[in-house]
Amino acid sequence: MLIVTLLMAAVIIVPLLLSGARRLVLRNGRPVWLRHLVLRTTTGGGNGAGAAVAELAAALNPNKRVEIEQRRTDQLIRHDSEAGAPPHAIVDLTAGRALIRSR
């Protein structure tokens, strides 16, 4: 049981603490040497704490897992208005007319 607790601490709590420390250093800008080190070594653009909390919630709630997978799928799928079946209505705004085809 102790090993499981230590593993959870290493996987969940440590990234939360590191993310909070990173945000604090970047927000305050002090110490300057640490701010420069953080900017050089991190890619930025994301909140590690938010991802860690979402994964923890997904482990406890199956609906959250489905939501996270749906977000990943939406990011990967290309959304084109030109893809798919041809439209049944054509609207030409320059000519001022609309053409509706029946099937």
Q: What pLDDT is recorded for position 48?
A: 59
SS3 of 63, please? helix
The whole-angstrom separation of Cα 60 and Cα 35 is 35
How many CB atoms within 10 Å of residue 67? 14
Q: Which backbone phi and psi does 92 adopt, to 5 degrees?
A: -105, 105
DSSP reduced 3-state for 45: coil
- If you compute the radius of gyration of the chain from its CA atoms, what whole number of angstroms results? 24
pLDDT one-digit tens code per residue, 13-48: 877 787 788 888 888 878 888 888 777 776 555 555
> Looking at residue 68, what is its pLDDT?
80
With cut-offs at 50, 70 and 90, classify the pLDDT of residue 4: confident
pLDDT tens figures, 44-67:
555 556 677 777 777 888 888 888
Contact between residue 19 and residue 54 where contact means Cβ atoms under 8 Å apart: no
Mean pLDDT, rounded, for 89-101: 75
pLDDT at 69: 85
Task: State yes or no: pLDDT of 77 exceeds 70.
Answer: yes
